[in-house]
């Protein structure tokens, strides 16, 4: 060939062999086998996304509505109170606790009420106990005008059980009484003419003046007034001993009572006269006056006065003139206008306390290792007799 290239016969023969080989039938058999093998050994490609069909699923079971089962006929509640005997000092408050026990599946609210309350005793009711709670309380309030008394009140629990009202009732003994606690000493130290003293609760005023100005024979006069200037009672006369400086007036710490001490020397003896006046604004009909005499001679017993916490009871200490003991204790109830039992003779010290004993306010006196109890009458009317 030209341009330096030529084709030989051998090259042509190779080309012809290749063409012949390609057209040979056994190649067809080989290609057919490969095609068949591809069908046997290669997995076809997955169809496009979204083209497959989701097999039908069984619908979910319908949710069953809960069945409300009413409580059995035995369902209900019980009511428990604490305490079952409730003490309250006149003019103060006391709390009553209660517990509700639900039974046999009962889950309802319970309403608490109270009935049978005496005059001037109140309670904030009704009190609701929700289903999530089991206890509660109510407060009983008294006034200074509430009468001393012992009575029974009723506490009722009410609820609906199976659409029917159910009630439970419990009774409580209510005691409206004196203040509990130990007696405290009071010193009548107001004695100078022109001197005044206001009571601790600022309801009363004590004024000292000359006896002649008040029209009484004693050297000095003690007059108890209200803060508005209205006389509470007649002036009380007293003397002041020049040596001991005894004599004068004063108030109980609770201001419900006044006391006047008169000390008049008589030869070798001293006569100390105590006069007590109950000054309650809320019980004007109750104003007993006591004249307790104590002869202080060679016994050297100093008269002393102790009041209960609410100033309704007085313990007077004086010389004992009727026995071997040096001292004598006289207990006086200023509300009822009477003495509590006979005088108690003793030598050492004493302790007087108002306590609850057998569900009754009681004065408990311990002197020389011996204990004496005097029950306190729960009434507001004086006996009408002047004690000497």
Query: In the predicted model, is pLDDT for residue 8 greater than 50?
Result: no
Range among 70-84, 145-159, 237-251 with highest mean pLDDT value: 145-159
Residue 81, pLDDT > 90, answer yes
The reply to whether 386 falls in a domain is: no
pLDDT confidence of residue 61 = 57
Is 387's pLDDT higher than 50?
A: no
| Shared domain check, 314 and 185 | yes
Burial class, 64, CB count within 10 angstroms (exposed 0-12 / middle 13-18 / buried 19+): exposed
Among 121, 144, 177, give the residue marking a domain's end: 177
Among the candidates 177, 195, 217, a domain finishes at 177
Whether residue 173 is found in the same domain as residue 186: no
Which contiguous run of DSSP H or E holds residue 190?
A: none
Q: Does the residue 51 lie in any domain?
A: no
Q: How confident is the model at residue 299 (pLDDT cuts 50, 70, 90)?
A: low
CA angle 253/254/255 to nearest 5° reads 90
Please check whether residue 273 is in contact with residue 262, taking contact to mean a CB–CB distance below 8 angstroms: yes
* 7 bridge partner residues: none
The confidence score (pLDDT) of residue 269 equals: 54
> Does 15 score more than 50 pLDDT?
no
Per-residue pLDDT for 297 more than 60?
Answer: no
Give 370's pLDDT tier (boundaries 50, 70, 90): very high
Helix %, strand %, coil % of the chain (to 5) = 10, 45, 45
The β-bridge relationship of strands 327-333 and 344-346 is antiparallel
Do 204 and 347 sit in the same domain of this protein? yes
Task: Indicate the burial class of 63 (C-beta count within 10 angstroms; 0-12, 13-18, 19 or more).
Answer: exposed
CATH number at residue 135: 2.60.40.10
Q: In Å, how far from its chain's centre is CA 70?
A: 38
Q: Report how far apart, in Å, the C-alpha atoms of 42 and of each of 37, 39, 46 are.
A: 8, 6, 12
The pLDDT of residue 257: 82
Q: Are residues 114 and 223 in the same domain?
A: no
Same domain for 88 and 162, yes or no, is yes
Q: How far is Cα 70 from Cα 124, in angstroms, rounded to an integer?
A: 33
Asked whether residue 50 is domain-assigned, the answer is no
Shared-domain flag, residues 117 and 186: no
Whole-number mean pLDDT of the chain? 78
Query: Last residue of some domain: 118, 153, 177?
Result: 177
Share of residues in the chain with pLDDT > 70 (%): 69
Dump pLDDT digits (tens) for 164-197.
Answer: 899 999 999 999 989 999 999 988 888 889 999 9
Range of the domain at 335: 181-375
Q: Which residue has the higher pLDDT, 179 or 293?
A: 179
* H helix runs in the chain, sequence order: 9-22, 25-41, 211-214
At residue 71, the pLDDT reads 59
Q: How many domains does the chain contain in total? A: 2
- Report d(CA 168, CA 156) in Å as an integer: 6
Give 101's pLDDT tier (boundaries 50, 70, 90): very high
Comparing 111 with 299, the larger pLDDT belongs to 111
Beta-strand relationship, 257-266 and 269-278: antiparallel
The pLDDT of residue 31: 43
More confident residue, 35 or 150: 150
Based on the fold, state whether residues 117 and 221 are members of the same structural domain.
Answer: no
Residue 296 pLDDT exceeds 90: no
282 CB-side CA count, 13 A: 14
Higher pLDDT, 285 or 354: 354
Looking at residues 8-36, what average pLDDT do you find?
46
Residue whose token pair is 């026990």: 101
User: Residue 317 corresponds to which tokens in the numbers above?
Assistant: 């200490």
Predicted pLDDT at 18:
45
Q: Is residue 335 part of a domain?
A: yes
What confidence category does residue 383 fall into, taking pLDDT thresholds of 50, 70 and 90? very low
Q: What pLDDT does residue 58 have? A: 57
pLDDT at 289: 59
Same domain assignment for residues 120 and 241: no
Closest C-alpha among 295, 287, 293, 292 to residue 258 = 287
* Residue 357, helix vs strand vs coil: strand
Structure tokens at 28: 């067809």
- Give the pLDDT score at 56: 62
CA distance linking residue 384 with residue 108, whole number of Å: 57
Gap between the Cα atoms of 210 and 197, Å rounded:
16
- Among residues 256, 324, 325, 318, which one has the least CA distance to residue 291? 318
Q: Is residue 279 part of a domain?
A: yes
Reported confidence tier of residue 13, pLDDT bands at 50, 70, 90: very low
Q: Which residues contact 67 (CB under 8 A, 6 or more apart)?
A: none
Shared domain for 255 and 336, answered yes or no, is yes
Q: Is residue 13 part of a domain?
A: no
Q: Are residues 296 and 346 in the same domain?
A: yes
Q: Is residue 374 predicted with pLDDT exceeding 90?
A: yes
DSSP string, 308-325: -TTSSEEEEEEE--SSSS
Same domain as 265, residue 311? yes
Is 9's pLDDT higher than 90?
Answer: no
pLDDT category of residue 242 using cuts at 50, 70 and 90: low
Confidence band for 347, pLDDT divided at 50, 70 and 90:
very high
Kindly state the average pLDDT of the residues 200-204: 84
Give CA–CA dist 36/292, Å, rounded: 140
Answer yes or no: is 157 within a domain.
Answer: yes
Residues 185 and 321 in one domain: yes
Q: What is the mean pLDDT of residues 79-96?
A: 92
């Amino acid at each position: 060939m030209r341009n330096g290239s030529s084709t030989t016969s051998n090259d042509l023969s190779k080309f012809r062999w290749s063409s012949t080989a390609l057209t040979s039938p056994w190649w067809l058999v080989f290609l057919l086998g490969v095609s068949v093998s591809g069908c046997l050994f290669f997995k076809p490609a997955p169809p496009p996304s979204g083209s497959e069909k989701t097999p039908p699923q069984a619908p979910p079971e319908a949710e069953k509505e809960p069945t409300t089962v009413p409580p059995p006929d035995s369902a209900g509640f019980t009511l428990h109170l604490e305490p079952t005997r409730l003490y309250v000092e006149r003019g103060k408050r006391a709390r009553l606790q209660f517990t509700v026990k639900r039974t046999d599946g009962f889950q309802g609210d319970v309403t608490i009420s109270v009935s049978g309350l005496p005059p001037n005793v109140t309670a904030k009711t009704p009190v609701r106990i929700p289903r999530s709670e089991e206890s509660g309380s109510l407060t009983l309030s008294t006034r200074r005008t509430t009468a001393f008394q012992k009575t029974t009140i009723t506490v009722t629990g009410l609820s609906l059980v199976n659409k029917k009202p159910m009630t439970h009732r419990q009774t409580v003994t209510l005691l409206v009484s004196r203040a509990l606690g130990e007696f405290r000493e009071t010193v009548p130290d107001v004695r100078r003419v022109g001197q005044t003293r206001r009571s601790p609760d600022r309801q009363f005023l004590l004024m000292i003046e000359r006896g002649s100005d008040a029209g009484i024979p004693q050297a000095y006069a003690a007059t108890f007034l209200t803060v508005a200037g209205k006389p509470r009672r007649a002036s009380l006369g007293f003397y002041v001993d020049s040596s001991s400086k005894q004599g004068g007036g004063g108030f109980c710490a609770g201001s419900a009572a006044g006391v006047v001490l008169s000390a008049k020397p008589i030869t070798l003896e001293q006569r100390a006269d105590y006069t007590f006046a109950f000054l309650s604004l809320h019980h004007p009909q109750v104003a007993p006056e006591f004249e307790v005499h104590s002869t202080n001679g060679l016994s050297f017993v100093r008269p002393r006065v102790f009041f209960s916490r609410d100033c309704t009871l007085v313990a007077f200490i004086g010389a004992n003139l009727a026995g071997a003991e040096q001292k004598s204790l006289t207990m006086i109830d200023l509300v009822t206008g009477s003495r509590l039992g006979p005088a108690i003779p003793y030598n050492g010290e004493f302790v007087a306390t108002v306590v609850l004993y057998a569900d009754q306010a009681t004065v408990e006196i311990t002197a020389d290792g011996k204990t004496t109890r005097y029950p306190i009458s729960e009434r507001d009317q004086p006996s009408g007799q002047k004690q000497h």
